[in-house]
Amino acid sequence: MIFLSKRTKWLMSLIFALVGFMLAIQFQTASSEPELRDTRDQWEIRQALQEQQKLQQELLEQIAQADRTLEEYGEVSDAEKLETLKSSIHQLEQEAGLAELEGSGVIITLAPIFQEWEEGAPAYPTVSPSLLTHLINELNTFGAAGIGVGEERFISISPVRNVNGETYINNRPMPPLPITIKAITSNPKKMMDYVNASRSRDMFALDQIAMEVEAEQHIELPGYEDNLQIDVLELDSSKETGED
């Protein structure tokens, strides 16, 4: 290649430069992803910070509690150890919904608005699974610590299904209306306001079901009776929503 004439050399160089240019643009185009910019303003950042701080506090509290439990385990007496173990089991059962739960909360009563006569026979409104799921989801969003539907305890893996036109909860049929739904929360008044203002009322009204909400200082929820089938459960690290 030594015998390239000068003109050819420059020509080649220019073409090479062109190719390089094209290559660079191609590379840039191929590797360009939409730039992720932080467009939050001061308030939003502050809010995010607050959320993180709240999370941190929660975590710290959890750590402190775990430390306490550990300390109690470390106590010498066997009886105390057993006591601690029992109380941890009870706490876990309560969290999982296996144990009975007491506390302040709201009682929602679902009752038929009126009985419509359809070709001579009274049409009796029923709660559809989707409607019930919606209400329960709303209650959970509003921060319910435990939910009971009729005599059934509703836990995180409770199924709501439509079986032959009937609504089943925990694989048992739901009793006919009127029915009470209980939700335990630390702030029943607020939960009552939430439920009253929610869209569930309208949706139930569309199905001719009236919804009445009362705040109670003391309600009791039954425990979940069946076995927990948690073989297929996996740990979900996403944050819980709701009040507490």
Report, in Å, the least distance between residue 37 CB and another protein. Answer: 16
Question: Of these, 17, 113, 163, 205, which contacts another protein (CB under 8 A)?
Answer: 17
Under the criterion CB under 8 A, does residue 2 sit at the interface with another protein? yes
Tell me the window of 5-13, 53-61, 73-81, 108-116 that interacts with another protein (CB under 8 A): 5-13
Q: Determine, following the binding rule CB under 8 A, whether residue 30 of this chain makes contact with another protein.
A: yes
In the complex, minimum distance from the CB of residue 32 to another protein, in angstroms, rounded to a whole number: 5
Q: Counting contacts by CB under 8 A, is residue 11 touching another protein?
A: yes
As beta bridge partners, residue 122 has 117
Which member of 22, 55, 92, 113 binds another protein (CB under 8 A)?
Answer: 22
CA-angle at 66, arms to 62 and 68, nearest 5°: 115
DSSP state of 76: S
Q: Which stretch binds another protein (CB under 8 A): 20-28, 43-51, 84-92, 232-240?
A: 20-28
The DSSP secondary-structure symbol of 238 reads S
Cα separation, 11 vs 20, in Å, equals 14
Asked if 32 interacts with another protein (CB under 8 A), we say yes
Q: How far is residue 18 from each of residues 4, 7, 57, 211, 237, measured CA to CA in Å? A: 20, 17, 59, 74, 51
Binding residue count for another protein, defined by CB under 8 A: 29
| Residues ≥6 apart with Cβ < 8 Å to 177 | 110, 111, 112, 124, 125, 126, 127, 209
Q: Work out whether 28 is an interface residue with another protein (CB under 8 A).
A: yes
Do 223 and 102 contact (CB within 8 A), yes or no?
no
Could you tell me the smallest distance in angstroms from the CB atom of residue 23 to another protein? 6
Q: List residues near another protein by CB under 8 A.
A: 1-2, 4-5, 7-30, 32
